[in-house]
Amino acid sequence: MQQYRNTATATPRYDAVIVGAGFGGMGAAIQLKRLGLDDFVILEREGDLGGTWHVNRYPGLAVDIASFTYSYSFEPNPYWSRVFAPGAELKRYAGHVAHKYGLRRHMRFSTVVEGARWDEAGQYWTVHVRGGETITARYLLTATGFLSQPRTPDIDGIETFRGMIVHSADWDDSCELAGRRVAVIGTGATAVQLIPEVAREAAELTVYQRTPIWVTPKLDWRIPRPVQRLFARVPVTQRAARMVNSAVLEAIMVVGVLHYRQARFTNKGAELLARAHLRRQVKDPEVRRRLTPDYSFGCKRPTFSNEYLRTFNLPHVRLETTPIARVEPDGIVTADGRRTAIDVLLLATGFDLWDVNFPAFQITGRDGRDLGSWWRTTRFQAYQGVTMPGFPNLISLNSPYSYSGLSYFTTIESQMRHMKRLFGELRRRRATTFEVTRRANDEFLDRVTARLADSVFVLGACASARSYYFNQHGEPALLRPTPTLATLREAGRFPLDAYTYA
Ligand code: NAP
């Protein structure tokens, strides 16, 4: 860390601690290396790298943003086997990136971070690891993911179930589905991928739906070898595919959602497409009616599938929309008293975001400020979705208003740009400590709040969506309401006086 002058009274062990070895943590690590901050450790609670793509292994797992777009722009993979690559390829890609950028040697697996505290005298972070170890570092970067704390539903009697219960994010390969009576609870993006696979094996499948989901067709196909070779030899061809796909996604997922006031027609167009898809795929009008969402497209993350809806035509698959009353040792009872006998219970019930994941562990900043309490007693907020006042030298990658709607990689790469500008200024000033000003943070919060007034979250019908885009106060505080290009531009040009430096 030669270029950075050390003004503090004590020397921490590392330049930086990164928490999380998924794509976010790896992107941050690549950027630290580029910035000459090479002495860092990546702490990961799981047994290997890859984050979501290491943890999730359920049948049917695939990326649901086309792989040209769902990858680092500076590290394209010409060899995706499909437009929407299966999960195992994402995991291999993560391994490739770690190898190419020399990240594995920085990683420590099965290491659970329990807390971090800012040391004012030393101007560094002390990170507490389960088991009692403490690690000190000048900078703390949290990349703990948005969807990393699986939610087990609090359904009466669930603990009495005698068959196998498996959460999609904790898939058990010994889970035998062939010839069994299976129930799936949940109809989110995970269930949309899982249910067709389960239906292929199970003797009976009952799907418990609380809220239907908008599903649009998935333009997926195998990428033939000659095209893969073309992508490898002439990278501009893959960049062009990325641009086209990103532009379509931007129109639907960013413009139509965040700029609903101005571009409602793109949102409505997507809804019409999803309705037509449902009509084409599901024969029974009553089942169709129950699969039709009553909230605006975009209130909740829409999904893409050519298999999910038509699964409900199969004679051994039943859609159950009566609420679950309780689970019994060998079945599920709905509120109308009907009982369905099951052998296997699959939970596609998603993740806890707002209650347990912001932040994923206790973070105590300047003057004892607790990040979780501060977010909950003021508002969920983060300057540019990256930094918070009162938390010097903390880069929080999974923050409120950080998710740039196109693909997680847009979010990561804009945050890498932000780091480049911020750490570049630190170096120029020969400083080691940064902190965002309250003024810059407040202005950013005011700006995103004002811009959200144009979004489907405010203007659409979202009350019944039960969407994790909204926090416990009903604020849509996850997505950053700016177009992707503007997000990227701002990450490279934010005013340097948004921070104080010491
Ligand atoms: P999710 O979207 O939060 O869906 C959870 C489902 O479980 C919902 O249908 C929910 O119903 C239901 N549920 C939860 N608790 C319940 C209860 N107590 N009783 C009945 N139903 C209950 O979670 P997810 O499907 O795991 O997807 C999360 C996100 O992961 C997606 O939005 C997407 O961003 C990401 N994902 C990405 C990919 C990919 O390929 N990139 C694949 C899968 C997932 P309610 O809606 O009524 O709450």
- 346 in ligand 1 pocket by Cβ < 6 Å? no
Closest Cα to residue 461, out of 216, 207, 214, 255? Answer: 214
Look-up: residue for tokens 């939610």? 151
CA distances to 206, 345, 393 from 338, in Å: 13, 17, 56
Cα 350 to ligand 1 centroid, rounded to whole Å: 4
213 neighbors 271 (Cβ within 8 angstroms): no
Same domain for 401 and 463?
A: yes
Strand order in the sheet with 344-347: 164-167, 344-347, 181-185, 204-208, 317-320
Domain boundary residue, one of 328, 347, 366: 347
How many domains are there within the chain?
Answer: 2
Q: How far apart are CA 34 and CA 40, in angstroms?
A: 13
Same domain for 144 and 166?
A: no
Q: Is the residue at 233 inside a domain?
A: no
Residue 36 has φ and ψ, to the nearest 5°, of 85, 10
DSSP sequence for 407-465: -HHHHHHHHHHHHHHHHHHHHHTT---EEE-HHHHHHHHHHHHHHHTTSHHHHS--TTS
Q: Is the residue at 181 inside a domain?
A: yes
3-state secondary structure of 84: coil
- 189 in ligand 1 pocket by Cβ < 6 Å? yes
Same domain for 58 and 94?
A: yes
Q: Is 378 exposed, middle or buried (0-12, 13-18, 19+ CB in 10 A)?
A: exposed
- pLDDT for res 9: 52
Same domain for 50 and 118?
A: yes
Give CA 448 to chain center in angstroms. Answer: 20
pTM here is: 0.95
Cα 213 to ligand 1 centroid, rounded to whole Å: 10
Atom in ligand 1 nearest the alpha carbon of residue 153: 18
Same domain for 326 and 357?
A: no
- 187 in ligand 1 pocket by Cβ < 6 Å? yes
Q: Is 66 exposed, middle or buried (0-12, 13-18, 19+ CB in 10 A)?
A: buried
3-state secondary structure of 364: strand
Same domain for 114 and 167?
A: no
Q: How many CB atoms lie within 10 A of CB 321?
A: 16
Domain boundary residue, one of 347, 372, 397: 347
Q: Is the residue at 232 inside a domain?
A: no
Q: Is the residue at 238 inside a domain?
A: no
Q: How far apart are CA 184 and CA 206, in angstroms?
A: 6
Q: How far apart are CA 422 and CA 387, in angstroms?
A: 11
Atom in ligand 1 nearest the alpha carbon of residue 465: 46
Beta bridge partner(s), residue 500: 435
Mutate to test the pocket of ligand 1, among 210, 290, 291, 407 (most ligand atoms within 8 A of CB): 210
- The secondary element (H helix, E strand) that includes residue 484 is helix 484-493
The DSSP letter of residue 61 is -
Residue 387's domain comprises 14-148+353-501
**Two tokens at 189?**
């993006």
Cα 214 to ligand 1 centroid, rounded to whole Å: 12
Q: Is the residue at 447 inside a domain?
A: yes
**Two tokens at 357?**
């994941």
- 194 in ligand 1 pocket by Cβ < 6 Å? no
- pLDDT for res 356: 87
- pLDDT for res 104: 98
Cα 302 to ligand 1 centroid, rounded to whole Å: 11
- 292 in ligand 1 pocket by Cβ < 6 Å? no
Torsion sign (Cα): 26, 31, 34, 39 = negative
Cα 154 to ligand 1 centroid, rounded to whole Å: 15
Strands 124-129 and 215-216: unpaired
Cα 188 to ligand 1 centroid, rounded to whole Å: 4
Mutate to test the pocket of ligand 1, among 67, 70, 190 (most ligand atoms within 8 A of CB): 190
- 305 in ligand 1 pocket by Cβ < 6 Å? no
What distance, in Å, lies between the first and last C-alpha atoms of the chain? 16
- pLDDT for res 123: 97
Q: Is the residue at 1 inside a domain?
A: no
Cα 168 to ligand 1 centroid, rounded to whole Å: 10
Rounded to a whole number of angstroms, the CA Rg of the chain reads: 23
- pLDDT for res 252: 76
**Two tokens at 437?**
């000003």
Mutate to test the pocket of ligand 1, among 300, 349, 466 (most ligand atoms within 8 A of CB): 349
Q: How many CB atoms lie within 10 A of CB 494?
A: 20
Same domain for 203 and 137?
A: no
Angle at CA of residue 458, ends 455 and 462, nearest 5°: 105
Same domain for 406 and 366?
A: yes
> For each of the chain's 502 residues, which pLDDT tens digit applies?
444 444 455 799 999 999 999 999 999 999 999 999 999 999 999 999 999 999 999 999 999 899 989 999 999 999 999 999 999 999 999 999 999 999 999 999 999 999 999 999 999 999 999 999 999 999 999 999 999 999 999 999 999 999 999 999 999 999 999 999 999 999 999 999 999 999 999 999 999 999 999 999 999 999 999 999 999 999 999 999 999 999 988 887 788 888 899 888 988 999 999 999 999 999 999 999 999 999 999 999 989 999 999 999 999 999 999 999 999 999 999 999 999 999 999 999 999 999 888 999 999 999 999 999 999 999 999 999 999 999 999 999 999 999 987 789 999 999 999 999 999 999 999 999 999 999 999 999 999 999 999 999 999 999 999 999 999 999 999 999 999 999 999 999 999 999 999 9
Q: Is the residue at 6 inside a domain?
A: no
Q: How far apart are CA 69 and CA 251, in angstroms?
A: 14
Residues in the chain: 502
Q: Whose CA is nearest to atom 24 of ligand 1?
A: 350
Same domain for 190 and 288?
A: yes
CATH code at 182? 3.50.50.60
Cα 140 to ligand 1 centroid, rounded to whole Å: 30
- 25 in ligand 1 pocket by Cβ < 6 Å? no
Same domain for 391 and 488?
A: yes
Q: Which residues of 101-140 are buried (b: 16+ CB within 10 A; e: fewer)?
A: bebeebbeeebebebbbbeeeebbbbbbbeeeeebbbbbb
Same domain for 362 and 435?
A: yes
Torsion sign (Cα): 14, 112, 48, 149 = negative
- 301 in ligand 1 pocket by Cβ < 6 Å? yes
Cα 169 to ligand 1 centroid, rounded to whole Å: 11
- The secondary element (H helix, E strand) that includes residue 98 is helix 87-100
- 318 in ligand 1 pocket by Cβ < 6 Å? no
Q: How far apart are CA 295 and CA 292, in angstroms?
A: 9
Same domain for 331 and 194?
A: yes
Cα 219 to ligand 1 centroid, rounded to whole Å: 22
**Two tokens at 280?**
């084409």
- 85 in ligand 1 pocket by Cβ < 6 Å? no
Cα 395 to ligand 1 centroid, rounded to whole Å: 28
Strands 181-185 and 434-436: unpaired
Domain boundary residue, one of 282, 314, 347: 347
Closest Cα to residue 418, out of 386, 458, 392? Answer: 386
Q: How far apart are CA 445 and CA 44, in angstroms?
A: 31
**Strand locations in 324-437, DSSP E?**
324-328, 331-334, 339-341, 344-347, 362-364, 394-396, 434-436
Cα 279 to ligand 1 centroid, rounded to whole Å: 23
